[in-house]
Structure 1
Amino acid sequence: MRLLQLAFIVSLTSGFAAILIYITGVSKLYGTRQLSDEDIEALQSLQGSFQKCVSSNGLGIQAVSGTDFCEITLQFPSDTDSKWRDPKTGEPEGLSFSFNLCEAVATWEQVRNSTTILTKEFIDALPNGWEDYAWQRINKGILLNRCENKTLCMEKLSLVLPEIPPYFPRQFGQCAVVGNSGDLLKTRENGAPIQNYTDYVGKKSTFRLLNRGSAKALDKVAELYDTGKEVLIIKTTIHDIMNKMILEIPIRNPVYLMLGASFGSAAKGTGLKALEFALSICDTVDMYGFTVDPGYKNGRGISRSLEKVILHCRLVKIHSPMRSDPNRVVKWVPDRGTIAAARIASEKLLRRVGAGSGDILGACSIIKKQVKGKRTGVSGLRKAVMEHQKYVKRTTMYPLEHNPGHGLLCTVPNS
């Protein structure tokens, strides 16, 4: 019997490929009347290449097309042993999972261009940002009467709220995201230790993404790696206890709150958020300790935190016990031209903000001016950073939750 360790993740990759993300709450499709013949051909080409890629590299998994250009069903082999059971019904999880290919590819550009660290600039630029949003990032923030006392809210957030993003898209070349799985004893997660496990997980750790439980033990987490060197990113809310630790111990590590909403507000697992953060600052990402392929028998069940991710063969490489050969060849990888054309067509079909526009600001639902004197230069950073900043015209882009058309909040230079 084969073991299904991780539903919705197809470990297809050894090369680097575009990431295709299924977002909860698939948008209703509006027909093909707004698509050109070239758009339809692009969607058909992407769907066909995706099916071939899964068939060739998915260890028995098949991608079955649905009733339109976008719907795909991942079908695991019939002898797969599904170990995850619904906690309410006790029923094992099924062996087929649907996702929307158009939703996935349309989100691609947004993920790669956005920042995922919460900043004061973002809150200030949001319409009624302090009254409607800021209090939600503070533990028991509902007691603050929608930040009626803005000074108090700013005080509670001040230790984890930079004025502007501390990192740029493309700032790092190759990054590793290391999970908590038993498969692995550099973006790390939660309280996963390093000491005594360096032969398995490596010695370097640059960022650590924390869930609510780990964040409450911020003092202990800060001691897991060289004191003060690891950046700690909290995906939930700031708590008075955390602020007290930062000030009184003190904790020397930079501590931030995560903003990311690109993968959908329902995709809240630490693993998925770590991947989202890594993709927002890195060219390519290697993942360790997340996925187990069909046929691998040493797993602990389905990882729900990553269930909405579909990896499609160029920017993300998944490492697992059944894919140990670093030189393995991945067949039927869609080329960048196919992916780019399908993305434009998908944006039109889903009526995304700025669909089909050649203007980089076309996807911006909200545009505000940047505060003078607050930006940091990119001189001395990687060439890829400088090229990207030129491409986006020095615009900073933030994802917006629950925004019709998946628009962005953008801050642009004053001059």
Structure 2
Amino acid sequence: MRPHKAGGFNANSHHSRRGAGSSGGGGGGDDTSKQNDPPVVTQKLDLTPQQDFKILSDFQSSIQQCVANRGLGLTAHIIDHCNLVLKFPEGTNSTWYNEQFKIYEPLEYKYSVCDALLLWEQYRNMTTVLTREYLDVRPKGWEEYAAKRIAQLGADKCYNRTLCEEHLNLILPAKPPFHPRQFRTCAVVGNSGDLLKTKFGKEIDAHDAVIRDNEAPVNEKYAKYVGLKRDFRLVVRGAARNMVTILNGSTDEVLIIKSVTHRDFNAMIKKIPNPVYLFQGIVLRRGAKGTGMKSIELALSMCDIVDIYGFTVDPGYTEWTRYFSTPRKGHNPLQGRAYYQLLECLGVIRIHSPMRSERGNDWSDVPHREMISRAHAAALRLKRGQDGDLGQFGSCKVWGNMDPESSGPVSGSPDMSSIRKFSKYSKWEVMPFESLRKEAQDHYNQMEGVSLYKMDGNKLDDLVCVRHS
């Protein structure tokens, strides 16, 4: 594998032949079949800023109507072509007290629809698992970034790369093990106690992949509520000690570590044969936080349609509960509710909850994929300027090439325990390209064999891009 740093590949020479709005995926439409329409291809148009303002203003009106129809009391108030405020009805019980700012949770939240649309459409094309190629291509990737992902390193930089590789080898694939559009439908199952008010189990299991969080149990006791299918699990450090019991022999379930490698994770990994990867961590200061939001990011990076269950998104809940534990002192996360509702009306997720269960699969009041793509293209043109359109690679700030003669190592290390030697890494990391679903192959070809990674923080124009032959 011979990476080339920035400048090794001329991003400007690869202007998009498909236009800025050609991202695919689910969202919109009046039934499930329309949700899986092929990606809308938006040709590059010479539109004036005034025309783009009109496209976005029409989109805002559609968002406003969607929130009115689906928001269970939430209302959207448009400020301009990009900005709006989501408001809860007067009298909403705000029970969460912010100790830092000495205020109760507010009843209205301002969002930039343009920024949210650009960010989440970008996730449809991204890799969210940390890989060796990312560290090789990113400037000082091994020296500085790798050190941030290893707890108890004893240094702020990887002065000894060999030592850092020893920490990461077991969970570091050479290239992305999962691909955009790899799955048609994915269910992200949260841990909220509201799951006990529904019987979504069979519906959840019908998805192509299911993503769960932390210590959520999967067994016959809760099967009718949360299902039994288990494909991916996003875990934080605190869940590591109980993970062997939680997995209960489920050797295919892929674990994605949310934050950093740690001695607790290392001890747990030695006892299981499951594939384990590291989430390509980025700090995004959005309107909702937590492992559930990271699970949505992970799902959107490899699924056309993302359905969420077990998120406290209905009005009336005054304390946070888990479906598998006794009630705890909690809060009413109004900000999270508002942001999830915005994401549904942007076609990013589809919300399933007790108060929404009677809707069935009617998504006719969510903007259609074509409208979302037009709005995305308009927001992108306004952001970059009419003369600054670099196509689908316009956000790439660091480029690298991967040598086609070297596919790199499968995750693992020579000193693996006997249990880990039977791990299922190869199921994903040596998967033949031809075995991917057609939509995933088409996306790979459309992206000209380029993998996109987020670099840091909130910046949209901050991607590491790796070209494969």
CA–CA separation in structure 2 for the residues paired with 1:352 and 1:219 = 52
| Change in 2 beyond 3 A, CA 1:347/1:211 | same
Distance 2:94 2:366 in 1: 28
Change (3 A) 1:401 1:14: farther
Match of 2:450 among 383, 395, 403: 395
Q: Is it true that 1:348 corresponds to 2:381 in the alignment?
A: yes
2:314 to 282, 293, 301: 293
Alignment of 1:74-85 (within 5 A): 74-85=86-97
- Out of 268, 273, 280, the residue aligned to residue 294 of structure 2 is 273
Could you tell me which residue of structure 1 aligns to residue 372 of structure 2? Answer: 339
Matching residue within 217, 239, 253 for 1:214: 239
TM-score for the superposition, normalised by structure 2? 0.74
Which residue number corresponds to residue 203 of structure 1?
228
* 1:38 corresponding residue in structure 2: 51
Q: Distance in 1 between matches of 2:283 and 2:157?
A: 25
Given residue 202 of structure 1, which amino acid in structure 2 is its aligned partner? G
User: Quick one: distance in 2 between partners of 1:367 and 1:352?
Assistant: 22
For residue 154 of structure 1, what is the amino acid of its counterpart? E
Aligned residue in 2 for 1:183: 194
- The alpha-carbon deviation at position 36 of structure 1 amounts to 2.3
Q: Does structure 1 retain, via aligned residues, the 8 Å contact 2:399–2:464?
A: yes
Choose which of 117, 127, 131 in structure 1 pairs with 2:139. Answer: 127
Does residue 1:96 correspond to 2:108, yes or no? yes
How high is the TM-score relative to the length of structure 1? 0.83
**Matching of residues 4-403 of structure 1 within 5 Å:** 36-66=49-79, 68-88=80-100, 91-141=103-153, 143-185=154-196, 186-195=210-219, 196-223=221-248, 226-247=249-270, 249=271, 251-261=272-282, 269-295=290-316, 301-303=331-333, 306=336, 308-309=339-340, 310-313=342-345, 314-327=347-360, 329-330=362-363, 332-351=365-384, 356-357=389-390, 359-372=391-404, 373-374=406-407, 377-402=432-457
Q: Give SS of 2:110's match.
A: strand
Letter in 2 for 1:367: W
Deviation at 1:303, TM superposition (A): 4.2
Question: Does the CA contact (< 8 Å) of 1:136 and 1:237 recur in 2?
Answer: yes
Change (3 A) 1:287 1:355: farther
SS of the residue corresponding to residue 365 of structure 1 reads strand
Per-residue deviation at 1:266? 9.1
Q: 1:59 to 1:110 in 2, by over 3 A?
A: same
Q: Which secondary structure does the structure 2 equivalent of 1:183 belong to? A: helix
Q: Give the alignment's Cα RMSD to 1 decimal.
A: 2.9
Query: Compared with structure 1, are the counterparts of its residues 298 and 306 closer, same or farther at alpha carbon in structure 2 (3 Å cutoff)?
Result: closer
- Once residues 264 and 319 of structure 2 are traced to their aligned partners in structure 1, the CA distance between those partners, rounded to angstroms, is 38
Shift of 1:287: 0.8
Could you tell me whether the CA contact under 8 Å between 1:115 and 1:260 is conserved in 2? Answer: no
The 8 Å contact of residues 35 and 348 in structure 1, kept in 2 or not, is answered as no
Q: State the alpha-carbon separation in 1 of the partners of residues 335 and 247 from structure 2.
A: 24
Partner AA of 2:187 in structure 1: A
Kept in 2, the 8 Å contact 1:228–1:252? The answer is: yes
Contact 2:285 2:458 (C-alpha < 8 Å) held by counterparts: no
| One-letter amino acid of the counterpart of residue 401, structure 1 | D
- Unpaired segments ≥5 residues, structure 1: 1-11, 19-33
Cα deviations by residue, 1:331-360 (Å, 9 ceiling, x for unpaired):
543233322222122223334999643x33
In 2, distance between residues paired with 1:194 and 1:322? 24
AA at the equivalent of 1:193? P
Over residues 379-400 of structure 1, what are the superposed CA-to-partner deviations in whole Å (9 max), with x where a residue is unaligned? 0221111111111111111111
Unaligned runs of 5+ in 2: 1-27, 36-46, 197-209, 322-330, 409-429
8 A contact 2:237–2:264 mirrored in 1: no
Distance 1:267 1:292 in 2: 11
Q: Is the 8 A contact 2:319 2:332 kept in 1?
A: no
Per-residue CA distance 1:83-139 (angstroms, 9 max, x = gap): 222134553211111111110111233100001101111111100101120010011
State the secondary structure of the residue aligned to 1:350.
helix
Cα-to-partner distance string for 1:243-273 (whole Å, 9 max, x where unaligned): 23323x3x10101110153855896510000
Q: Alpha-carbon deviations, 1:170-209, whole Å to 9, x = none?
A: 1111111111111125200000111221121111111010
Identical amino acids, percent of aligned pairs: 40
SS in 1 for 2:434: coil
| Structure 1 residues 353 and 90, CA gap change in structure 2 (3 angstroms) | farther
User: Match for 1:411: what amino acid?
Assistant: V
CA drift at 1:364: 1.3
Separation of aligned partners in 1, 2:382 and 2:300: 25
